[in-house]
Amino acid sequence: MIRKFWLTGIVAAALAAGTLAGGPARAEDKPFIIVQSTTSTQNSGLFDAILPKFADASGIEVRVVAVGTGQALKNARNCDGDVLLVHAKPAEMKFVEEGYGTGRDDVMYNDFVIVGPKDDPAGIKGMKDAPKALSTIAGAKAPFASRGDDSGTNKKELALWTESDVDPKAASGSWYRETGSGMGATLNTAAGMNAYTMSDRATWIAFKNKADLEILVEGDPNLFNQYGVIPVNPEKCPNVKTKLGKTFIDWLIGPEGQKEIAAYTVDGQQLFYPNAKKEGS
């Protein structure tokens, strides 16, 4: 009889802990995917706004790894994710061409801006030519904070420096400072140094510590910022959650996801503009 009561107690405890079959589902048992994405989508608050809506609609949790685009691509090549959501199209297309992704869809866009101190020591305020503005900053040897992290923003910044015929890395450690950090941290550095930097507009709008910084250069078509989504190829990564990832991508580029992206604002300003379009269509 004592043994019977002892066993009954063990079973009850196991049921209470949800450790027996049929017990309460644990958080780790719920379906989820890993999305390798950018600091801009995270820092801007977009994911906090839209991912709960997707989870409610699908029952699938999205776990985001927010890093620079270059690192996100590297992580996905190492099979550390199911979906990529990044913003450096040439690098994205290379990822697909190498067989690591099964395709790529446009999702949304915004733009980059060059911000700097209100007193604007380099005199770039109002310029519409981003490479010329960077060249002017270099000529003035005015402090410039670069992410220096192979992110989509950093890739665009370096491309603009190339167009300006300036090699900023030759000045690394003097007026050109590479933070090796995300956009929010780099904006903090720029604010602390009273330096120029380039930011995606979404992170800039959501950024609270603007100090004496303001937007000085915007509106150049070269500053266009497109985001794309890519499913990781199961032929390269056998453990990828293909069906769950497709459910997320279909929602993101479908009417509901696009509506939620458009609806996300900070201080009344829209941060991202949906423009889902499949490659080749």
Assign 6 a pLDDT band (cuts: 50, 70, 90).
very low
Assign 170 a pLDDT band (cuts: 50, 70, 90).
very high
The answer, yes or no, to whether residue 2 has pLDDT greater than 80, is no
C-alpha distances out from residue 171 to 7, 133, 162, 193, 222, Å: 73, 17, 14, 16, 24
pLDDT per residue over 115-129, tens digit each?
999 999 999 999 999
What per-residue confidence (pLDDT) applies to 277? 73
Q: What is the mean pLDDT of residues 36-58?
A: 95
Residue 229 or 279, more confident:
229
Give the predicted TM-score (pTM) of the model.
0.85
Architecture of the domain spanning 111-223: 3-Layer(aba) Sandwich (3.40)
Assign 43 a pLDDT band (cuts: 50, 70, 90).
confident
What per-residue confidence (pLDDT) applies to 278? 60
In the CATH scheme, what is the code of domain 28-109+225-278?
Answer: 3.40.190.10
Assign 75 a pLDDT band (cuts: 50, 70, 90).
very high
Domain with CATH 3.40.190.10 in the chain: 28-109+225-278, 111-223
Residue from 110, 94, 101, 100 nearest 41 by CA: 110
Residue from 263, 245, 234 nearest 100 by CA: 234
For residue 101, how many other CB atoms are within 10 A of its CB?
24
